């Protein structure tokens, strides 16, 4: 980690971008260097309606926040906004048309994740059921605004019918600016393992380049399933958050693996430091489908000046927020899954901690 003093960090941040809000939407974490980072606070439900697998976004580092969910009665990809990362309101459907490649008889969209690529370009990664191969594939759609409507690419960007399909895509930007796609192979549809992979993306945010690397895979302790990956960087460590066990049971949870390289190798964190959330903790039931973002890291995308890189890698005034879902009926997904959140998730030397 690069160490800078607070006064230098403030000057560099002011020079880094003219779009950073003077008033942060939530209190920022102070610069490390002997100062104490606040604990991650779990709160919910913040949307007490069916809003599963929430993905979150803070466009240009300024409120309003955006959250996107799996299909429900609220739309193909319902979205909500918040000015303070506390009170949320449903707004509409960000992806009314998922593309001609999506089956018309099975047109639900799963686990959308939206990332800002430039100041006027947003990419949504989502899962749909392919009309041509009868498996889940990952699609991408673009918009000039975070509210959309997003325009889909004419074909999915990733399919793996032989392994059972692919699902749960999320984006990630590493220090230095490289974009990645992270996803799960849907092997449980064929009674097979469910490895999670990472692969570089081109600067357009949706064209896969290079080769895929396996990050982790499911084991007996995971109930045979790992899914819903979300990758975040903090102070030299990469944290891969994921859910394990069946989504429709109280065994569903949020856990994580760590590495000091974006592509791994990754080590699943064990008790007592993981899982991060299990049923009953903080009043949750079947917590899962989390999206975790490093707010300032997600904001500093364009351009990547030396001052911005210093701030990114020093963690100056950064904070990590997350959203996840929890069963409304306290038993299973049958009653819908409400959105919950974590403000200021604590990440330190490969360990994530929260308070209720």
Quick one: pLDDT band at residue 176, thresholds 50, 70, 90?
confident
Write out pLDDT tens, residues 22-38. 333 333 333 333 334 45
pLDDT tens by residue, 81-101: 999 999 999 999 999 999 999
With bands split at pLDDT 50, 70 and 90, how would you rate the model's confidence at 298? low
Backbone torsion region of residue 286, taken as left when φ is above 0, otherwise alpha when ψ lies between -120 and 50, otherwise beta = left
Catalogue the active-site residues: 53, 227
Phi, psi of 161 (to 5 degrees): -60, -35
Q: Confidence band (pLDDT; 50, 70, 90) for 2?
A: very low
- CATH class of the structural domain 6-355: mainly beta
Q: How many Å apart are CA 338 and CA 52, to the nearest integer?
A: 6
Q: In the sheet that 78-82 helps form, which strands lie side by side, from edge to edge? A: 55-57, 65-68, 78-82, 89-93
**What residues form DSSP beta bridges with 113?**
125
Question: What span, in angstroms and rounded, lies between the C-alpha atoms of 246 and 235?
Answer: 32
How many Cβ atoms from other residues are within 10 Å of residue 294's Cβ? Answer: 23
pLDDT in tens, 255-264: 999 999 999 9
Report the percent of the chain where pLDDT is more than 70: 83
Ramachandran area for residue 189 (φ above 0: left; ψ -120 to 50: alpha; else beta): alpha
Q: What is the pTM of this model?
A: 0.87
Predicted pLDDT at 319: 73
Q: What is the pLDDT of residue 62?
A: 87
Report how far residue 138's alpha carbon sits from residue 146's, in angstroms, rounded to the nearest whole number: 19
Q: Is the pLDDT of residue 311 over 50?
A: no
Q: What are phi and psi of 193, to 5 degrees?
A: -60, 165
Residue-range domain boundaries for the chain: 6-355
């Amino acid at each position: 980690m690069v160490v800078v003093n607070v006064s230098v960090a403030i000057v560099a941040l002011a020079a880094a971008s003219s779009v950073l809000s003077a008033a942060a939407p939530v209190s920022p974490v102070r610069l490390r260097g002997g100062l104490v980072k606040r604990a991650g606070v779990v709160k919910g439900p913040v949307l007490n309606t069916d809003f599963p697998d929430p993905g979150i976004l803070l466009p240009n580092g300024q409120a309003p926040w955006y959250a996107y969910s799996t299909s429900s009665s609220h739309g193909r990809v319902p979205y909500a906004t918040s000015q303070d990362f506390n009170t949320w309101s449903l707004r509409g459907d960000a992806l009314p048309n998922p593309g001609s490649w999506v089956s018309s008889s099975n047109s639900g969209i799963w686990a959308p994740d939206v990332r800002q690529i430039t100041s006027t370009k947003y990419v949504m990664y989502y899962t749909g059921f392919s009309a041509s191969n009868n498996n889940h594939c990952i699609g991408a759609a673009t918009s000039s605004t975070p509210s959309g409507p997003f325009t889909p690419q004419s074909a999915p960007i990733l399919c793996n019918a032989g392994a059972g399909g692919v699902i749960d895509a999320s984006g990630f930007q590493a220090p230095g600016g490289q974009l990645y796609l992270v996803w799960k192979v849907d092997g449980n549809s064929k009674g097979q393992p469910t490895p999670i992979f990472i692969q570089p993306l081109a600067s357009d945010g949706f064209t896969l380049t290079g080769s895929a690397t396996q990050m982790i895979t499911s084991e007996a302790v995971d109930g045979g399933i790992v899914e819903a990956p979300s990758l975040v960087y903090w102070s030299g460590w990469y944290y891969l958050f994921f859910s394990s066990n069946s989504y429709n049971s109280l065994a569903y949870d949020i856990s994580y693996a760590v590495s000091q390289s974006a592509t791994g190798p990754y080590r699943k964190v064990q008790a007592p430091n993981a899982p991060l959330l299990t049923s009953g903790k903080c009043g949750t039931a079947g917590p899962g489908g989390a999206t975790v973002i490093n707010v300032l890291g997600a904001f500093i995308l364009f351009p990547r000046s030396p001052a911005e890189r210093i701030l990114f890698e020093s963690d100056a005034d950064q904070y990590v927020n997350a959203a996840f879902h929890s069963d409304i009926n306290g038993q299973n997904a049958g009653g819908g899954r409400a959105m919950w959140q974590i403000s200021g998730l604590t990440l330190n030397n490969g360990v994530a901690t929260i308070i209720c």
